[in-house]
């Protein structure tokens, strides 16, 4: 069997936009949220949301806002829908934003992933998948912030093809 307990993955990227412009893109309570630009984010409670992505039709991901420090840090929890039958159970995702001057910032994504019990032969693959997902998420945030949502839509259309 694979090791018990969560796995933490940390990725970072510099974005050529001020921190004040990037933070709203990760805040699910802000209409400028980068996931809402390529799907739908619906408030379902005081700190909960449903997220549907155009790239994954028919799936709804419940999101719980755990902590919001405007301009600095945003943390969410997402429990994957049971109908996916995924080995990944849930993630806690913290996005830290550090200003690097007036025109750019460093974004650090820390994802704590919790898995259902699985055999060791599947574990390495799951870790690779969640690591790639973290990289892709930050890369898309950077492209969205620097080049706009239309470029993200083109990328996602190519991925879906």
Query: What pLDDT is attached to residue 44?
Result: 97
Q: 46 lies in a domain?
A: no
Distances (CA, A) of 102 to 22, 74, 140: 12, 20, 22
Q: 78 lies in a domain?
A: yes
Number of domains in the chain: 1
Query: What pLDDT is attached to residue 90?
Result: 94
Q: 128 lies in a domain?
A: yes
Q: 132 lies in a domain?
A: yes
Contacts of 29 (CB under 8 A, 6+ apart): 43, 49, 65, 68
CATH code of 125's domain: 3.30.530.20
For 86-117, letters b (16+ CB in 10 Å) and e give ebbebbbbbbbbeeeeeebbebebbbbbbbee
Instruction: Report the chain's mean pLDDT, rounded to a whole number.
Output: 93
Query: What pLDDT is attached to residue 55?
Result: 83
Query: What pLDDT is attached to residue 82?
Result: 77
Beta strands in 21-149 (DSSP E): 39-43, 48-53, 61-69, 73-79, 88-99, 105-115
Taking only the tens place, the pLDDT of each residue in 42-84 is 999 999 999 999 888 888 999 999 999 999 999 999 998 777 7
Q: How many helices (H) and strands (E) does the chain have?
A: 3, 7
The 3-state DSSP class for residue 92 equals: strand
Q: The domain containing residue 93 runs over which residues? A: 7-27+63-160
Q: 129 lies in a domain?
A: yes
Q: At what angle do helices 149-160 and 120-147 cross, to 10 degrees?
A: 140
Q: What pTM did the predictor assign? A: 0.91
Query: What pLDDT is attached to residue 6?
Result: 95
Contact between 4 and 89 under an 8 Å Cβ cutoff? The reply is no
Q: 37 lies in a domain?
A: no
Q: Which residues pair with 117 in a beta bridge?
A: none
Q: 55 lies in a domain?
A: no
**In the chain, what is the straight-line distance between the N-terminal and C-terminal CA atoms, in Å?**
36
Q: 139 lies in a domain?
A: yes
């Amino acid at each position: 069997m694979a090791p018990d307990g969560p796995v933490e993955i940390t990725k970072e990227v510099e974005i050529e936009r001020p921190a004040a412009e990037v933070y709203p893109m990760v805040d699910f309570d802000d209409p400028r949220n980068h996931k809402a630009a390529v799907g739908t984010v619906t408030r379902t409670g005081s700190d909960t949301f449903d997220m549907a992505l155009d790239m994954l039709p028919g799936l709804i991901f419940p999101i719980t806002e755990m902590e919001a420090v405007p301009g600095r840090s945003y943390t969410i929890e997402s429990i994957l829908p049971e109908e996916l039958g995924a080995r990944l159970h849930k993630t806690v995702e913290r996005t830290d934003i550090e200003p690097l001057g007036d025109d750019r910032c460093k974004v650090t994504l820390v994802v704590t992933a919790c898995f259902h019990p699985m055999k060791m032969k599947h574990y390495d693959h799951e870790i690779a998948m969640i690591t790639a997902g973290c990289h892709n998420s930050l890369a898309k945030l950077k492209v969205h912030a620097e080049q706009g949502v239309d470029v993200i839509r083109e990328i996602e259309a190519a991925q879906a093809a």
